[in-house]
Structure 1
């Protein structure tokens, strides 16, 4: 038994985390709408940011190759690090062309993962395999639609997906805030 008073419950005045969650959700939704206002710019900015991350990852991999205590795998780590860095620099230097390539690879990934999900749906049918089947079909169709509109789709797909993701994440935060506001149970320890 705990020594906590029985009256200590989550309420609007005692626990302001519900409005913080709603505020974060509203910010995410606003950011998503802002991104959706210019998906081409968002796509280019996303390509530059991915490029920066690849350069950092590449530099880290090269550093790791030289700082490892043993030389086993040195050449492979060095090559992977250099490949990351070169791809990152290519994205930074020409984000429009990089967006086209990223979108093409993304579409192929959607199609491949869709087929894997369909195969897994058959294996795990008892565990909501029908939802996995639908997810796989949607992935394949989405990949084919992106490829059908490529290379034009390369200039807007990434920005559109970032905007939608931000908005959905915002809706989740607002839902969480609403749930926290309604909940009157004791604060968990």
Structure 2
């Protein structure tokens, strides 16, 4: 009973926080939609920006990992931790030194991901078609769409590297922004 009460209290507090700050969520949503439109309008630039951002993330996390590894060098797994941190530094430096080639590599990885995700989703749909009755077909369609996206990305290489990452990031930003706008407006209406 305590867990149920705690969950109800948490939901109530979260709803109150969203209602109280609905304008901030609305602003963030609008900003994400604008950034999404910009990324879809300039997908090459957005792809480079994502690659450079990931390069910095790898570099900073790798340097942090090296510092922590040397600080705790008496811990088990020192060499594995050192190798992992060094790989992150190298990956970051490569992405920052050659961002155009990094976009191509990320595009290949994204294409492979969509292909694997599509196959896994189709297998999941087929395995659960009895339990999910009519809803399993939605999973099947989602899996097929993932494979279609993978086909366009992989078959279009290297040209698809110019648009794939930027377009996908733009779509993600637009949907995330639209979700926040909808949540903000619903919270505003519930507080009126």
Deviation at 1:71, TM superposition (A): 4.2
Deviation at 1:134, TM superposition (A): 2.2
Deviation at 1:48, TM superposition (A): 0.5
1:183 aligns to what SS in structure 2?
helix
Provide closer, same or farther for how the CA distance between residues 69 and 76 of structure 1 changes in structure 2, counting only shifts above 3 A.
Answer: closer
The equivalent residue for 1:60 is: 64
- Which residue of 72, 93, 116 maps to 2:97? 93
Residue 19 (str. 1) matches residue 23 (str. 2)? yes
Answer 1 or 2: which has greater helix percent.
2
Gaps (5+ residues) in structure 2? 1-14
- The alignment yields a C-alpha RMSD, in angstroms, of 2.2
The equivalent residue for 1:133 is: 140
Distance 1:62 1:130 in 2: 48
Q: How does 1:44-83 map to 2 (within 5 A)?
A: 44-68=48-72, 70-83=74-87
What per-residue deviation string (whole Å, max 9, x for no partner) do you get for residues 58-97 of structure 1?
2233233323364422222211211111111111011011
Which segment is superposed worse, 61-70 or 39-48?
A: 61-70
TM-score normalised by length of structure 1: 0.81
The equivalent residue for 1:5 is: none
What per-residue deviation string (whole Å, max 9, x for no partner) do you get for residues 151-178 of structure 1?
0111221111111111111111111122
The equivalent residue for 1:111 is: 115
> How many corresponding residue pairs?
172
TM-score normalised by length of structure 2: 0.80
- Which residue of 166, 170, 183 maps to 1:163? 170
Distance 2:48 2:107 in 1: 12
What per-residue deviation string (whole Å, max 9, x for no partner) do you get for residues 87-136 of structure 1?
11111011011100110111011111221222222333324433332222
Provide closer, same or farther for how the CA distance between residues 184 and 49 of structure 1 changes in structure 2, counting only shifts above 3 A.
Answer: closer
Larger Rg: 1
